[in-house]
Amino acid sequence: MQLDTLLRVAKWEMTKNAGGVDKRTIVVMALSLVAMGAVAAIAVSGGAGAGMDDGIYRIGVDESSPYYGVAADDSTFDIREPDPAAIERRQQELLYRGTQLQSVPRTAKERAALTELRDSTAQYNDRTLARDDNQTAAFPVSVTLVYEQQSGSSQLDPRSGDGSDGSGPSAGGSDASDGSGSSTGGSGDGSDTGGTGGSAASGGGDGGTAGGSGANLGAIGARLTGDVQGGTPSDISPPFPFESLVLAFLYIVPMNFVIQAYGSSMLSERLNRRGELLLVTPVSRGDIIGGKTLPYLAGAVGVAALITAALRFGNIAPAGSYVAVLAVVPLVVLFLSATFCGAMFARSFKELTFVTVTITVTLTSYAFVPAIFTDVTPIALISPLTLVVLDLTGQSVGLSSFVFSTVPPLLTGLVLFGLGAGLYREEDMFTQRPIPLKVLDALAGGINSRRSALKMSIVLLPLVIVAELAAIAFLFVLDSVSLNVFGTNQSLGIVLVLGVIVVIEELAKSLHVYAGYEHARYERTLRSALGVGALSGLGFFIGEKGLLIARLSDLESLPIGEAALQGATLPAGLPLWVAGLLFMLPLALHTVTAAISSVGASRGRRAYVAALTVAIVIHFAYNFTVVSTLV
Amino acid sequence: MIDARDIRKEYGGFVAVQGSSFSVDRGEVFGIIGPNGAGKTTTLKMLAGLLEPTSGSAEIAGLDTETAEMRQQLGFLPEESPLYEEMTPISYLKFFADLYDVDPDVAEERMHDTLDKLELEHRDRKLGDMSKGMKRKVAIARSLINDPDVLIYDEPASGLDPLTTNYVIEFTEQLAKEGKTIVFSAHNLFHVESICDRVVIMNEGEIVARGDLEELQAEYGHTRYHVYTTVDVPDAVQENGSYKRVVESMDAVEETRERAEANGGDVVDIRTEESSLEEVFLNVAEAGTRGTRYVEEDTE
């Protein structure tokens, strides 16, 4: 790949497509994005949003009452002259004289108004106390220590061991009180390991943002509404990580716009043979693909940088840094590479629409859903967006966490680009074949000899890792549901994860072998099939060690993670001969099952499906036995 | 300049081109003709480096057809040349000049010179708004933007109206006179006949005849004799005050002379007419197919 050529192609890709979209459309799109960002920002604030509830409660209170200031600061209240008759006529919901409530709430609206006033009063008091010079006196903290047995997935902090400054007050108040009884210490991000504690107001200087994510997210909300006194006990986040959701949403949405434009551009090269003339120039395939991809990659990363900068300099997420932008890069690569493959597989724009929707849903789920649980479980680290949320909320991101989150999607993206590039040639680019056959074409592009089976099993490993991590992320919620399988009392989540993983691994080992046979790359003999299968199994066994990357996370601390990763790692404390046997058994397993599938593949599609099923059953039985025995 | 050695192309079990060999000299205009599906386009694409031969090899100026160096010397015009319709001719040609790493000033001069020769106006109009003939001229200009030594044109006048077709063929002829080596295919054999130095005829993926026009005529064509007499003879038609009988052998000419003399007349003129390339092509096509185009798979 030559940089100058790549940049030349990139320049013309921008020029060419600039003429394809009229300025009015660009303006409308830009305004839509800005509006979406604004709405998201308001949503993050957790405040009154677009002001639809302004003045919905009418309160009769005069300026001499201490509640006057409370109501004046809360836009949901419409302050009126105190008038008992108005209460009777239902023209006011609340009536105060001094500190005394003069009316008894009778309707649902009056009760809601009273609840709102009490919440506003608590916040008003917090803001007032936060201005006090003596913060210790303003917010006295009472700590009750309760020691409990640690178990279960929800009690683990993904950032433990990362040197996170979020662990601040280590005794982490599980029962911290501000005197009003309104708050508990932990905010769901590891209260048992000491996280938020509810100690210091974030605006308090020395407390800074070290209070943990819950408080930090609350602080972001406060800053969005100009309430710089956020971070007080009453601001502690609710259990549902709404702010994580919105922050992740901000970053993921622009990518979906970018891949639409990218997919269209790539597909248009294939329709009517437009791209044929590029292939006959001295520019290499890699330069063409790289050059055409670069503007979209730069655009998506640029948008992420702009969002980060806007959040940072808008004082909404002042902790946002280059880490958030870097974390987005592998995700952008993954989105673009999947779209590139889709554009190389699709036969028309109609088919591309289905492909891109599938990509959007799948990858958004992969990136977005785990990130929502940034403060809840180590599984969240599967998604690079979790790093973004951590960075924006001022929590440090350790190198191991960064590697674990970003390397698998980055490698997967590169593999997908490689597969798609295999089709970027005259013979495959302009043929109109169904998508499954195109997938086989792409896989067959990397097969030259029997040894290719070994290479392909290794090359496809990043895809396997990402798929398996995603399966863990989506199924871990079922970890607590028990299932009686073959007399064992196994968790439903573990059983399902084992099943999904077995299917993924057997497909990864055999699909390229089947593609090789379909493209006459291998001889259709029993000997050849066994040899190719064994090499594929060996390749997978070697590549499987890539799953050791999971060691960089706390994934193995979860039963479901431990079960899923048992092929790559060994339980501690085993006798040497058992450890040796367990190390070699996966090799035998992968070789045998891959050979079974290979023999089926050599005899046609139906035989392949049947053989693959047998291989899956054997693999599942093996995994289930190991997990039931050792995990 | 161009050397194709036993190039063969298979798609799955289908043989598109069955081991073709030929060479083209520098400055020569080489035609490939044949019916639809004969393998002409596949052969041209293998020469252009777009398709990798299943077996055999092709070289241009001693360079493998898959190398960037070779492509730098090549101008390729496919049968269909869909352009980037949102671009103008100028931006489109600049784009390709950039890809061929042509100096911008040189490219500017070259593109306007070529477009002048092709008499293309409305150079700032978007390509999507242009007629098919105008688009073809832009495509031809693109094939020349790198000033290539070798041009490979697949049906350069395909789908164009007669006027534009003649224009394109004349322009190709002019390029040949400038010393370009040209390989091209065409359905209209009159065009091939008018500008090609040598021709191969392909049928069902195989070269079934080759040579210059005279050689092809000698092998596959016929010489017709137009015998003009002063009196009527059997099978003769009256033409310009005399009688003309068309025969295909000297024996028949002699027989005509004898019949005319027997009727009191004489032969006043004898003219010869050679077969056209179209007739040669039809004769070759009638010669029949050369076997199966499908590879038998080895199965257990």
As a whole number of angstroms, the longest Cα–Cα distance in chain A is 97
Given a cut of 70, whether residue A201 has pLDDT beyond it is no
Map A566-601 to HEC letters. Answer: CCCCCCCCCCHHHHHHHHHHHHHHHHHHHHHHHHHH
Q: In this predicted structure, what is the pLDDT of residue A219?
A: 45
| 3-state SS, residue A226 | coil
As a whole number of angstroms, the longest Cα–Cα distance in chain B is 79
The CA radius of gyration of chain A, in Å to the nearest whole number, is 29
Report the residue count for chain A. Answer: 631
Residue type, A341: C
Q: In this predicted structure, what is the pLDDT of residue A560?
A: 58
Residue type, B5: R
CB-based contact, B49 to chain A, within 8 Å: yes
CB-based contact, B5 to chain A, within 8 Å: no
What's the rounded mean pLDDT across residues B66-93?
88
CA-CA distance, A540 to A588, in Å (whole number)? 11
Residue type, A149: Q
What's the rounded mean pLDDT across residues A435-446?
89
The predicted complex's ipTM stands at: 0.79
Query: In this predicted structure, which of A549-563, A575-589, B23-37 has the lowest mean pLDDT?
Result: A549-563
Query: In this predicted structure, which of A14-28, A290-304, B78-92 has the lowest mean pLDDT?
Result: A14-28
Q: Outline where A280-376 has alpha helix (H).
A: 285-313, 322-345, 349-372
CA-CA distance, B32 to B192, in Å (whole number)? 8
What's the rounded mean pLDDT across residues A16-21?
64
Report the residue count for chain B. Answer: 300
Q: How many CB atoms lie within 10 A of CB B91?
A: 18
Shortest alpha-carbon distance between residue B209 and chain A (Å): 28
* Chain-centroid distance, C-alpha B101: 30
Pairing of strands B223-229, B267-274: antiparallel
CB-based contact, B267 to chain A, within 8 Å: no
Judged by CB atoms closer than 8 Å, whether chains meet at B95 and A19 is answered as no
Cα–Cα nearest to A233, from A115, A117, A140, A171: A140
| 3-state SS, residue A485 | strand
A61-87 pLDDT, tens digit per residue, is 988 888 998 888 888 889 998 888 888
Judged by CB atoms closer than 8 Å, whether chains meet at A281 and B99 is answered as yes
Q: Outline where A189-271 has alpha helix (H).
A: 213-224, 242-270
What's the rounded mean pLDDT across residues A237-257?
73
CB-based contact, B63 to chain A, within 8 Å: no
- A142 secondary structure, DSSP code: B
Inter-residue long-range contacts of B124-127, CB under 8 Å, 24+ positions, other chains counted: B124/B88, B124/B90, B125/B88, B125/B89, B126/A19, B126/B85, B126/B86, B126/B87, B126/B88, B127/B83, B127/B84, B127/B85, B127/B86, B127/B87, B127/B88, B127/B89, B127/B92
| 3-state SS, residue B225 | strand
Residues 4-33 on A with a CB inside 8 Å of B are 5, 8-9, 11-12, 15-17, 19-20
* Chain-centroid distance, C-alpha B256: 39
Res. A104 pLDDT band, cuts 50 70 90: confident
Q: How many CB atoms lie within 10 A of CB A38?
A: 11
CB-based contact, A427 to chain B, within 8 Å: yes
* Chain-centroid distance, C-alpha B141: 19
Judged by CB atoms closer than 8 Å, whether chains meet at B78 and A277 is answered as yes
CA-CA distance, A9 to A295, in Å (whole number)? 10
Burial class, A75, CB count within 10 angstroms (exposed 0-12 / middle 13-18 / buried 19+): middle
What's the rounded mean pLDDT across residues B264-291?
74
Cα–Cα nearest to A410, from A374, A468, A463: A463
Q: In this predicted structure, what is the pLDDT of residue A576?
A: 77
A389 vs A38 pLDDT, higher one: A389
Query: In this predicted structure, which of A244-258, A262-276, A507-521 has the lowest mean pLDDT?
Result: A244-258
Q: In this predicted structure, what is the pLDDT of residue A157?
A: 44
* Chain-centroid distance, C-alpha B55: 25
Shortest alpha-carbon distance between residue B213 and chain A (Å): 31
CA-CA distance, A630 to A623, in Å (whole number)? 10
Q: In this predicted structure, what is the pLDDT of residue A570?
A: 60
Q: Outline where B28-131 has alpha helix (H).
A: 40-47, 68-72, 89-99, 104-117
CB-based contact, B86 to chain A, within 8 Å: yes
Contact at 8 Å (CB) between A35 and A316?
no
Judged by CB atoms closer than 8 Å, whether chains meet at A524 and B100 is answered as no
Nearest CA in chain A to B65: A280
Given a cut of 80, whether residue B243 has pLDDT beyond it is yes
Which region, left, alpha or beta, applies to residue B191 given φ > 0 means left and ψ of -120 to 50 means alpha?
alpha
Q: Looking at beta carbons, which residues of chain A come within 8 Å of B98?
A: 8, 11-12
Residues 171-210 on B with a CB inside 8 Å of A are none
Given a cut of 60, whether residue A105 has pLDDT beyond it is yes
Shortest alpha-carbon distance between residue B149 and chain A (Å): 14
CB-based contact, B136 to chain A, within 8 Å: no
Task: Pull the structure tokens for residue A382.
Answer: 């599967």
CB-based contact, B51 to chain A, within 8 Å: yes
Q: How many CB atoms lie within 10 A of CB B271?
A: 11
CA-CA distance, A601 to A523, in Å (whole number)? 11
CB-based contact, A2 to chain B, within 8 Å: no
Q: Looking at beta carbons, which residues of chain A come within 8 Å of B142?
A: 277
Judged by CB atoms closer than 8 Å, whether chains meet at B51 and A281 is answered as no
A206-219 pLDDT, tens digit per residue, is 333 333 344 444 44
What's the rounded mean pLDDT across residues B109-134?
86
What's the rounded mean pLDDT across residues B9-15?
83
Q: Looking at beta carbons, which residues of chain A come within 8 Å of B86?
A: 16-17, 19-20
Torsion over CA: B3, B7, B11, B16 (sign): positive
Q: Which of B78, B100, B300 sits opposite A273 (nearest CB)?
A: B78
Q: Supply the pTM of this predicted model.
A: 0.71
Taking CA B139 as the corner, what is the angle to CA B135 and CA B145, rounded to the nearest 5 degrees? 140
- A207 secondary structure, DSSP code: S
Shortest alpha-carbon distance between residue B90 and chain A (Å): 12
The CA radius of gyration of chain B, in Å to the nearest whole number, is 24
Taking CA A624 as the corner, what is the angle to CA A622 and CA A626, rounded to the nearest 5 degrees? 70
Complete DSSP assignment for B137-165: HHHHHHHTTT--SEEEEESTTTT--HHHH
Nearest CA in chain A to B139: A277
CB-based contact, B266 to chain A, within 8 Å: no
Res. A414 pLDDT band, cuts 50 70 90: very high
Cα–Cα nearest to A101, from A55, A61, A57, A73: A61
Q: Which of A5, A15, A426 sits opposite B51 (nearest CB)?
A: A426
CA-CA distance, A87 to A570, in Å (whole number)? 72
Contact at 8 Å (CB) between A165 and A216?
no
What's the rounded mean pLDDT across residues A506-517?
93
Res. A415 pLDDT band, cuts 50 70 90: very high
CA-CA distance, B130 to B110, in Å (whole number)? 21
Which residues does A66 contact at the CB level (< 8 Å), separation at least 6?
A: A98, A99
CA-CA distance, B263 to B257, in Å (whole number)? 10
Judged by CB atoms closer than 8 Å, whether chains meet at B95 and A282 is answered as no
Show the domains of chain B with their CATH numbers.
2-217 (3.40.50.300), 223-274 (3.30.1490)
Q: In this predicted structure, what is the pLDDT of residue A184?
A: 35
Query: In this predicted structure, which of A154-163, A263-272, B207-216, B251-260 has the lowest mean pLDDT?
Result: A154-163
CB-based contact, B82 to chain A, within 8 Å: yes
Beta partners for residue B60, in sequence order = B2, B63
Mean pLDDT of chain A: 77
Shortest alpha-carbon distance between residue A286 and chain B (Å): 13
Q: Outline where A90-180 has alpha helix (H).
A: 108-130, 135-138
CA-CA distance, A12 to A567, in Å (whole number)? 48
B84, B87, B154, B295, best to mutate vs chain A, most A CBs in 10 Å = B84
What's the rounded mean pLDDT across residues A488-517?
86
Judged by CB atoms closer than 8 Å, whether chains meet at A427 and B86 is answered as no
Which helix (DSSP H) or strand (DSSP E) does residue A57 occupy?
A: strand A57-60
